[in-house]
A and B are shown apart, each in its own frame.
Chain A
Amino acid sequence: MIRETAIEASNLGFGYDRESSIINSLSFTLYRGETVALTGPNGVGKTTLGKLLAGILKPARGQVLLFGENTRDMPLYLMGRKIGYSFQNPDQQLFASSVAEEIGFGLKYRGANLEHISRVTAYLLNLFDIEHLKEAFPLNLSWGEKRRVVLAACLAQNPEYLILDEPTTGLDEERIKALTEIIASLRRKGTGILLISHHQTFIEQNAERILRMEGGEIRDDRFF
């Protein structure tokens, strides 16, 4: 079966300063409809790689092609229309005054009509079991609740690819099970997903391919 390429990284290199490099000459391809887990010890550059793929960081060397377009030439808002990115720390991406506004924010300022925004927001509030929090101030929520709000806000954009950095942190077993079901339905829809995670059971349940990072390089790329 020929799979459509979603993200293609070639000879990717990056360092936060000129002296050291955290990502060294990485080359790999991620496909549409595929769920990939990115694992490895702390500090090997998993989050940095995720941010490079999402266009939040620009590569120092090499390039990232997102659906054939070089991310170097794409402004962040265009990346945001194609990729949904959930940060490791949900506090970094919550800025609205209520949960409902947080979820509908992107749609509102991209010109969607009110009826569509209300419908999508109501659906996602229900999907992530946060209906009772819709008027709450996002930054006052618990870690697990914030995580669910961020995931809902990402999905509201209907992204073609999703990068989730440690999505299970702060979620109880029931919520992790619910997230597994959501991931399965997204995969059926053809959305590609990159899971940056240490949660072994979650990875085994969701990923069909594992990329293991070590020392800024991909040491293992294996399919289940």
Chain B
Amino acid sequence: MTAFSDLDPRSKLLLVACLSSGAVIMSHWAFLSGLLAASILLLLLFGVNPWDMLKKTRVLFNMVIFIALMQSIFVPGGQALLTVGSINLLTTGGLMMAAEFILRMSIIAASAGILATSNSREIIQGMVQCKLPYEIAFMVSMGIRFLPVFAGEAREAMTAIQLRGVNLRELSWRQKLEVTASLFQPVVAGALIKARAISMSIEMRAFRAYSTRSSYLVLTLGVKDYVLISGGLLLMALTLAYYFYLY
């Protein structure tokens, strides 16, 4: 627990919106590194250990690195660093693109970590009080809750593959690609199956039975929230202004 753990979820939503929008809008490693540093700072402020988070999402992170490297091979640019025949396998442009992709994904993962410091009920309430329709708010919060589930499923698939006696280091590149595809299969299929089961389950509990909903939980913004919201917005505006007009 830190002094900022009890922050209103709307403040967290706004900060996360700033970070993730910045990660999508900006495409320069220096700006993205700055955003990642800000995300890590916020994680620490909310009492989340970024190192523990990285350990928990290791498999997902490995996948991101793998995709980034593949991307760097297939989208070359700049100076060639490694060439086989007439094909440029590694280029400075490709590597830079891979680094930017990894930074972007890390910012998004850190944003999810920030939101995970509030429970789903608080997040939904925060969105509803921001005038977002309840159904949409509920779907977004479900999506956030699915992120650790995806990471867990990828980890389980990796364990299951190794339990079949498969040593990934012994495999050829083609086989490694096939095995990596197998990691995605349970994650994607699991998400669809779970989404179907959850939608059925919530409909059975009279979700959307009435057009309006009352709520026992009402969120109020405190001084810390106003400070963090205004500070975050100001910093983001300055960064974007610098990125578009001065850089």
Contact = CB atoms under 8 A, between A and B. Distances in A.
Nearest to A159: B165
Given A77-B166, A81-B165, A93 B193 contact: no
Contacts of A31: none
A77 B162 contact: yes
Nearest to B155: A92
A183 interface: no
Nearest to B162: A76
A109 B193 CA distance: 28
Looking at chain A, what size class is its interface with the partner chain?
A: 20 to 34
B160 interface: yes
Contact of A96 (B156, B175, B182): B182
A202 interface: no
A77 B167 contact: yes
B193 A139 contact: yes
A26 interface: no
Binding site secondary structure of chain B: helix
A93 B163 contact: yes
A109 B168 CA distance: 9
A56 B163 contact: yes
Contact of B163 (A76, A96, A139): A76
Given A91-B190, A95-B183, A96-B182, A153 B162 contact: no
A110 B175 CA distance: 11
Interface residues of B, number: 22
A54 B163 contact: yes
Interface in A94-108: 94-97, 105-106
Contact of B160 (A75, A78, A95): A95
A106 B186 contact: no
Contact of A157 (B159, B161, B164, B179): B164
Given A92-B156, A95-B183, A106 B193 contact: no
B246 interface: no
Interface of B: 156-157, 159-168, 171, 175, 179, 182-183, 185-186, 189-190, 193
Given A77-B165, A105-B182, A137-B189, 11 more contacts: A56-B159, A79-B163, A94-B160, A95-B161, A96-B185, A105-B164, A106-B165, A109-B166, A109-B175, A139-B186, A139-B189
Interface of A: 54, 56, 75-81, 83, 85, 87, 91-97, 105-106, 109-110, 137, 139-140, 153, 157
